[in-house]
Structure 1
Amino acid sequence: MTAANTSLNRSAPLRVLDTSPSQTPEEAHATLTGVTRHFTKNGSKELFHALGPIDLTLMKGEFFSVVGPSGCGKSTLLDALAGLSEPSSGTVMFEGRPVKGVPDGVGVVFQEDASFPWLNVRDNISFGLRMAGMDGAEIKRRTDYAMGFMGLKDFAGAYPAQLSGGMRQRVCIARTLVTQPRLILLDEPFGALDQQTRLLMGDELLRLWRETSATVLLITHALDEAAMLSDRVGVMSARPGLFIDIVETGWNRSRDSRIVSTPRFGEVNARLWEKLRVESMKVMGTAAH
């Protein structure tokens, strides 16, 4: 496969889309409607407006990324979708049901290395299944599949301290994969990795997305990562976070990291930075020129 045929029709214009694409309702997988989040500040009664109001529809099987300046509420948005926190107002739905707690079918991967140092790779990956009381044969089947898929079979008996940062993230992704999620939420999963490893991990993530047909939402600070991986990228404003731009990349589903050398990739990246630069300047307290 050449770099050219992993990409889209390069003549297609960049488009700003509504956050609720005009597709049939049954294709909507998760939605946020009028979602806001306020926090109390420093234990006082003063309210800190962190997010929203946000309206967003994730279509079934799409790869959607969110970029924005530091402190704009990206992770807060993810927490609401994951059921890890309740919004101050608005509704969050997954597969037609209100989100109350972490829904069945949702998997979350965080930036922090969440592996248990006292467990080897196999036991780390199967930990959640064992805690759920799953049948031993099914645990083995799922764990073997996840290790094979993520290239970890030869490291089944290794401990986290014996693995590189990229390998430990593979373990965390595999631990999510064994739960067979239909919606995968990723919060800066490759933020601590070097650029080369991030590109390779991005290829692995795209392969996982294609083969599982899961819907994926990725939070990232890296514009190139969002531009490479996503069907659509939402750009958020400075706090309180709002979507100020939604860019459809138009990549083919068979894409991989070779698209970073195409002119279209540069166009998408530039479009994201055009909006994000202004918002980042606001956070820094400087004027954009």
Structure 2
Amino acid sequence: MIGAAVKARSDSLAISEVPAAVHARLRGVTRVFDLPKGKLHALGPVDLDLGRGEFFSVVGPSGCGKSTLLDILAGLSRPQAGVAEFEGAPIRDVPDGVGVVFQEDASFPWLSVRDNVAFGLRRAGIDPAEIARRVDYAVGFMGLRDFAASYPAQLSGGMRQRVCIARTLVMQPRLILLDEPFGALDQQTRLLMGDELLRLWRETGATVLLITHALDEAAMLSDRVGVMSTRPGTFIDFVETGWERDRDSRVVSTPHFGDITARLWDKLRVEALKIMSSGQA
């Protein structure tokens, strides 16, 4: 289930190996929001261990705290209770080595594909020669070489999301957090983008956490899927898929894929019925 991180090479964007079985950890994490009508208990308490090199997906009803969980791991939000750790250190701000890709198109419309991908590296003051090397690799890896001089308005939705992923990739994150990155894409494009994401995961050795509403996406991509309850979200099941690391979208045609999605739906159907009966938004 947990793949070994690969060492950095001159011709790739692979991450450096850091010894530890648990890459990120949540213990008793709880998040409560202050709203005009009172407090909203959105998440927790949640316990979670992410293994180094693991592809872990989170599914759950709308409003159960999936994105809140991701924000806490990204250092974008702090819990009221509990501890969040990355590589053994408490998460207080955005940790070095963590990259985030959101559902919304976050490309800069006034920058070319190449300049979009290079944006974070330039802000970080990386040597220009190193920027060129990383950007060349990422643009090629994501199949954007022929569009390097194009602007986002000239690209399809799937290609714009590839730009956002490439911009994260060049920063060489050891933990990649994805919040519904393919939510706006059609089903065929989602499957193809899933193949690209699996290829990126294998190439870099990064740990990946994916938030998704799509049970088929979670079942296809993941080593393990965490199923969350209605609000306040907690994990009610962990499903190990048992896939080989060298997998792609062809697994959707196997009986085992149907077994995984059926188990996920059995759990989520109960939670969805709770929402319908309670009127919880």
Distance 1:126 1:26 in 2: 30
SS at match of 1:57: strand
Q: Partner amino acid for 1:262?
A: T
List alignment gaps of at least 5 residues for structure 2: 1-18
- Tell me by how many angstroms 1:284 deviates: 2.4
Distance 2:263 2:275 in 1: 19
Taking the TM superposition and a 5 Å limit, the aligned residue runs for 1:83-102 are 83-102=75-94
Distance 2:182 2:277 in 1: 28
1:178 matched to 2:170: yes
SS at match of 1:238: coil
Taking the TM superposition and a 5 Å limit, the aligned residue runs for 1:91-170 are 91-170=83-162
Q: Partner amino acid for 2:22?
A: A
For 2:203, the equivalent position in structure 1 comes to 211
1:41 matched to 2:35: yes
SS at match of 2:20: helix
SS at match of 1:48: strand
Q: Partner amino acid for 2:129?
A: A
Distance 1:97 1:88 in 2: 18
List alignment gaps of at least 5 residues for structure 1: 1-24
For 1:31, the equivalent position in structure 2 comes to 25
- Describe the superposition over 1:41-89 as per-residue Cα deviations: whole angstroms up to 9, x where unpaired: 12x5x22100000000000000000000000000000000000010111
1:245 matched to 2:237: yes
Distance 2:273 2:94 in 1: 35
Q: Partner amino acid for 1:34?
A: G
Q: Partner amino acid for 2:179?
A: D
For 1:53, the equivalent position in structure 2 comes to 45
Question: How large is the RMSD of aligned CA atoms in angstroms?
Answer: 1.2
Distance 2:203 2:167 in 1: 16
Distance 1:102 1:226 in 2: 25
- Tell me by how many angstroms 1:286 deviates: 6.8
TM-score normalised by L of structure 2: 0.91
For 1:191, the equivalent position in structure 2 comes to 183
Equivalent pairs: percent with the same residue?
77
1:201 matched to 2:193: yes
For 1:73, the equivalent position in structure 2 comes to 65
1:226 matched to 2:248: no
Which runs of 4 or more aligned residues in structure 1 lie more than 3 Å from their structure 2 counterparts after TM superposition?
none
For 2:227, the equivalent position in structure 1 comes to 235
